[in-house]
Amino acid sequence: GQRLGMPVDVFLRDYWQKRPLLIRAAFPGFELPLQPDDLGGLACEDGALSRLIEHDRARDQWTVHHGPLDEDLFARLPDRDWTVLVQDVDKWDADVARLLEDFRFLPSWRVDDVMISYAEDAGGVGAHVDQYDVFLLQGHGQRRWRIDARPNPPTGFRDDVEIKQLREFSPSHDWLLEPGDMLYLPPGVPHDGTAVGPCMTFSVGMRAPAVNELLLDAAEYLAERLPETARYSDPDLVAATHAGEITPVDLARVAKTLGPLADNLGHGGLVDWFGRFITRYRCAQFAAPAESPLDAAELTQRLARGDQLWRHPWARFAWCGQADTVQLFAAGEALPCPRDLAENLCTHAAPTFGTAPTPAAAAVLVSLVNNGQLTFAA
């Protein structure tokens, strides 16, 4: 806890994942494990994860160069408004890796990497938020950190910049960090660090896998261990009465096959996911959209003229629901649809209509034609 200025358990209880903390002289007399030139050299190595970010202050334009960087690039840089950042420096440099010894109060697998940045005066990456905790240790020179520590800060991104930068940033704190000072930030706190003269900053970043990453990987792990014979099965099947219907009994079988995952999906999620999944043909990718989209008036006109609609042979159709409007699934897409139309589309490869389609039915047909799941016979 000597780096935190307080006992570790107090830090974990009051700050970790909760609120920012500035620790003055966390690393008194900090000695650089790596010189700026070494970092520049590393940024040019094959396989090093590096970026160089230039800011054209007059036009507020940002340029990002992705590593490995070209040595010539450094030669033509101005003496301000740029920064170079290298991730995973702890993997390349044993002295840098030793910095992590001071973070042993955290599970080692929770620590991602030591990223190091070198910036010339006023250089930085702009205001942004990170999705993981970070300890920003000032290694050399001064850096001004501004953060917005208020709850629910605006998180909209600028769409004109290649790196994720905040559109709005109104700092609640403004600090000048000296070598050895360290700023801890939990995830989601907007921050902007700009160099005051040349400076080097060491970011000890945490690793927090996204839930979608965890779910996908766990599902893959489970799936790999299942025998081929483990399948959806329906020995109790009764004769289908409505073509294409996914019945409540079918859904219950799907839910049983999925086990607890079905609880996570909930009823709506289960219907939506399964309907999309089961209507994707195994080797077809996406339907080709119609070349010239049509509208409801044109569609009604063509049908009245006797033009015949066909289901695309690779598009599977199904529907689910009890009311007059059901959920129609067509080749992985889902849309609300009058029940009689859904049944018609699932029964006939060339659906026919006794009378002009209702506006609701026309809207479904227009969408299916324009998406390529239905086509007019040539």
Q: What secondary structure letter does DSSP report for 207?
A: -
Task: Tell which positions 113-132 bind ligand SIN, by CB under 6 A.
Answer: 117, 124-125, 130
Strand ranges for 57-110 from DSSP E: 61-66, 82-86
For residue 179, cis peptide bond before it (omega within 30 degrees of 0): no
Task: Pick the closer one to ligand SIN by CB: 141 or 357.
Answer: 141
Residue 138 near which of Co ion, ligand SIN, none (CB within 5-8 Å, type-dependent):
none
C-alpha distances in Å from residue 13, one per residue of 6, 79, 320: 11, 43, 49
List the x/- string, 178-217, binding to ligand SIN by CB under 6 A: -------------x-x-------x-x--------------
Work out which of 89, 111, 134, 287 binds ligand SIN, going by CB under 6 A. 134
* Token duo for residue 103: 């973070």
| Neighbouring-strand partners of residue 203 | 115, 136
The one of Co ion, ligand SIN, none whose footprint includes residue 83, by CB under 5 to 8 A per kind, is ligand SIN
Residue with tokens 């089961």: 278
Which positions from 247 to 266 touch ligand SIN by CB under 6 A, shown as an x/- string?
--------------------
Shorter beta-carbon distance to ligand SIN: residue 130 or 333: 130
CB 133 within 8 A of CB 17: yes
- Minimum distance from residue 55 beta carbon to ligand SIN (Å): 12
- Per rule CB under 5 A, is residue 130 in the interface with Co ion? yes
Beta-carbon contacts of residue 147 (< 8 Å; ≥ 6 apart): 20, 171, 172, 173, 183, 185, 189, 190, 191, 192
Least distance CB 151 / ligand SIN (angstroms): 20
Task: Specify the residue, 127 or 341, whose C-beta has the smaller distance to ligand SIN.
Answer: 127
CB of 134 to ligand SIN, least distance (A): 6
Q: Which is nearer to ligand SIN, 125 or 318 (CB)?
A: 125
Please identify, using beta-carbon distances, which residue of 135 and 317 lies nearer to Co ion.
135
Integer Cα distance of 285 and 64 in angstroms:
34
Distance CA 358, CA 327 (A): 17
Number of Cβ within 10 Å of residue 325's Cβ equals 14
Nearer to ligand SIN, 125 or 303 (CB): 125
For residue 89, give the DSSP letter.
Answer: H
Query: What does residue 141 show for φ and ψ, rounded to 5 degrees?
Result: 70, -170
> 370: how many CB neighbours lie within 10 A of its CB?
18
Residue 164 in tokens? 């994720």
| Least CB distance to ligand SIN at residue 109 (A) | 21
- Residue 295: CB atoms within 10 A of its CB come to 11
51 binds, among ligand SIN, Co ion, none (CB under 5 to 8 A by kind): none
Which is closer to ligand SIN, CB of 185 or CB of 328? 185
Cα 130 from Cα 164, distance rounded (Å) = 10
CB of 166 to Co ion, least distance (A): 11
- Residue 373's binding partner out of Co ion, ligand SIN, none, with CB under 5 to 8 Å set by partner kind: none
Please report, as ranges, the residues that interact with ligand SIN according to CB under 6 A. 83, 117, 124-125, 130, 134, 191, 193, 201, 203
Return residues touching Co ion (CB under 5 A).
Answer: 130
